Structure 1
Amino acid sequence: MNNKQKGDLGEFIAQKYLLDKGAKIIESNYRIKTGEIDIISDLGGEIVFVEVKARSNNRYGYPSEAVNYKKIKKIINTANYYILKNNLYNKKIRFDVIEVYLNEDKINHIVNAF
């Protein structure tokens, strides 16, 4: 399985996990010129921007460690555009990271990751 396939599988698993928690998936793979957000969901009236990181193992570190300053900046800029475009000023928002461990059938949901 190549990295693209792992990423797609991780996002599918993360979406199912969010749906099971009662979230509504608004967008997936929301992409503009400046960046991409893996999942945008509504969870209890709160808009949640989710970055998904999937790994087969943690040999090279935890998946969330790949969400560095540069990546965070891109996600926030993309989210700001989404909020502006969709007039979501009065909505509560947060940024989460979901780690998916493919070989362990394990998910780690980091709420308010940044």
Structure 2
Amino acid sequence: MNNNVEKGAMGEEIACKYLMSKDYIILERNYRNKIGEIDIIAKKSELIVFVEVKTRTSTNYGYAYEAVNKKKQTKIINTALCYIKQYNLKNFQIRFDIIEVYIGNKKKINHFEDAFV
């Protein structure tokens, strides 16, 4: 893998395909505003899911989900609130998920639903 940007893009593509296979509709990828970025915004029934994707080649330096610390969570939540306001999303439940994608020798996806609030 040449660099972290390519690795991240590959992980997000894998995560999108995974979510679509679970009947999610992808609303946005790499949504950005003045506060921050959300990797994937997806919808399933009356649920809007804000997904942080972490891609790694191994667990040598810890698990990928561990990189989503409290500061990162707060940034994602505040970005999501702006998205909800921007698109006037009422009558939807929201959830914050983390998807780990391992693209080393063993390809693996871990989906943590309701990872933080």
TM-score greater than 0.5 by the shorter chain = yes
How far the C-alpha of 1:44 sits from its partner, in A, is 2.7
1:22-56 Cα offsets, whole Å, 9 max, x none, are 11000000001110000000023210000000000
CA distance in 2, matches of 1:57, 1:89: 40
Query: Which residue is 2:88 aligned to?
Result: 87
2:46–2:91: 8 Å Cα contact kept in structure 1?
no
SS in 2 for 1:58: coil
Displaced runs of 4 or more, over 2 A: none
Read off the aligned partner of 1:53 and give its amino acid letter: K
SS in 2 for 1:60: coil
Q: Any stretches of 5+ residues in structure 2 without a counterpart?
A: none
Equivalent residues in 2 for 1:15-54, closer than 5 Å: 15-54=16-55
Read off the aligned partner of 1:109 and give its amino acid letter: H
2:68 aligned with 1:67 = yes
Query: Which residue is 1:8 aligned to?
Result: 9
Read off the aligned partner of 1:108 and give its amino acid letter: N
Q: Normalised by the size of structure 1, how large is the TM-score?
A: 0.97
Task: Count residues in correspondence.
Answer: 114
Q: Any stretches of 5+ residues in structure 1 without a counterpart?
A: none
Read off the aligned partner of 1:102 and give its amino acid letter: I
2:73 aligned with 1:99 = no
How far the C-alpha of 1:105 sits from its partner, in A, is 1.4
Read off the aligned partner of 2:108 and give its amino acid letter: K
Q: Normalised by the size of structure 2, how large is the TM-score?
A: 0.95
CA distance in 1, matches of 2:100, 2:109: 6
CA RMSD across the alignment:
0.7
